[in-house]
Amino acid sequence: MNEGALATRLGLAGWPHVAEEAIIARDLMLTELTGSRLHVCHVSTAGSVELIRQAKKRGVNVSAEVTPHHLLLTESLAAGYDPLYKVNPPLRTDADVKALRDGLVDGTIDVIATDHAPHPKESKDTDWASAAFGMVGLETAYSVAQEVLIDSGKSDFARLAEVMSINGARISGLESQGRYLEPGSSANLTLVNPGLSWSPEPRTQSMSENNPYSGLAMKGRVVHTIYDGEFSYRDFQVVQKGRI
């Protein structure tokens, strides 16, 4: 739970912004000192975004990622003690969400990474303290990215492709992934319908039900995925291997 007035009112132990920011500041200083490379996972606070932004301006070799849920959801959802919204790092404030979105648009944050964490029902259907951290987010990641970047009018599909494919492949050293289409290259594709409105069900494709987007109206959806010339997901369903 994010440290603040809501955590105090609920009687839950809060995780302060500075707990995250102090570690990132330390690691950035060490990276700058040693001339090494740093990748920061699950950025969740406005202060963290600013630390990374200033480090990049100084030429520090740092990259960063953010989860879909930290781009869309806030701590207010946990007001009912629902462990569905218990994640690590915790959901933060509206101001943090805005800063994360701005950082994604201006290049401070390089990647959207789902932190997809399915759990059996008994791990979430319990009290807050006993519940597991995490929520599912793989199937809805594109929809959240489209809302944050495209539907908001803040960016374009080129930037969406960078943060969901190109940059992640580059940072991870996956030379065969995240590439522009060229004759003779591997057919690794994600085909989407940006105008499609839909509402996720609790389970959908996942075997777990810890889906924070269940019942929400979303726009834009992945229709097909193709890996090395074979459908892996077709017409909203996982399929057996089959040539195009």
Question: Over the chain, what is the mean pLDDT?
Answer: 94
Q: How much is the average pLDDT of 119-147?
A: 95
- Residues 111 and 164: their CA atoms lie apart, in Å, by 6
- Residues 73 and 171: their CA atoms lie apart, in Å, by 26
37-41, 125-129, 212-216, 223-227: which is most confident: 37-41
Q: Is residue 83 part of a domain?
A: yes
| pLDDT for the residue numbered 243 | 46
DSSP 8-class letter at 46: H
Residue 161 structural domain: 5-180
| pLDDT for the residue numbered 207 | 66
Percentage of the chain surpassing pLDDT 90? 84
The model's confidence at residue 203, banded by pLDDT at 50, 70 and 90, is low
Q: Look at the chain and report how many structural domains it folds into.
A: 1
| pLDDT for the residue numbered 201 | 85
Q: Is residue 191 part of a domain?
A: no
CA 33 to chain centre: 29
Q: Is residue 88 part of a domain?
A: yes
Q: How much is the average pLDDT of 206-218?
A: 88
Percentage of the chain surpassing pLDDT 70? 96
Q: Is residue 196 part of a domain?
A: no
**Contact (Cβ atoms closer than 8 angstroms) between residue 4 and residue 19:** no
User: Is 80 exceeded by the pLDDT of residue 241?
Assistant: no
Q: Please report the sign of the dihedral spanned by the C-alpha atoms of residue 166, residue 171, residue 172, residue 175.
A: positive
Which DSSP string corresponds to 159-204?
HHHIIIIIHHHHHHT-TTSS----TTS---EEEEEEEEEE---SST
Q: Which of 42, 62, 37, 44 is nearest to 52 (CA)?
A: 62
Q: How much is the average pLDDT of 110-137?
A: 94
Q: Is residue 210 part of a domain?
A: no
Determine which helix (DSSP H) or strand (DSSP E) holds 237, and give its type and residue range: strand 237-238
Q: Is residue 241 part of a domain?
A: no
**CATH number of the domain bearing residue 125:** 3.20.20.140
Rounded to two decimals, what is the model's pTM?
Answer: 0.93
- Residues 85 and 105: their CA atoms lie apart, in Å, by 25
Letter for the amino acid at 85?
Y
User: Is 50 exceeded by the pLDDT of residue 244?
Assistant: no
Residue range 59-99, pLDDT digits in tens? 999 999 999 999 999 999 999 999 999 999 999 999 999 99
Residue range 7-55, pLDDT digits in tens? 999 999 999 999 999 999 999 999 999 999 999 999 999 999 999 999 9
Q: Is residue 164 part of a domain?
A: yes
Q: Is 180 helix (H, G, I), strand (E, B) or coil?
A: coil
**Least confident range of 6-15, 189-198, 203-212, 227-236:** 203-212
Q: Is residue 207 part of a domain?
A: no
User: Is 50 exceeded by the pLDDT of residue 58?
Assistant: yes
Catalytic site positions: 115
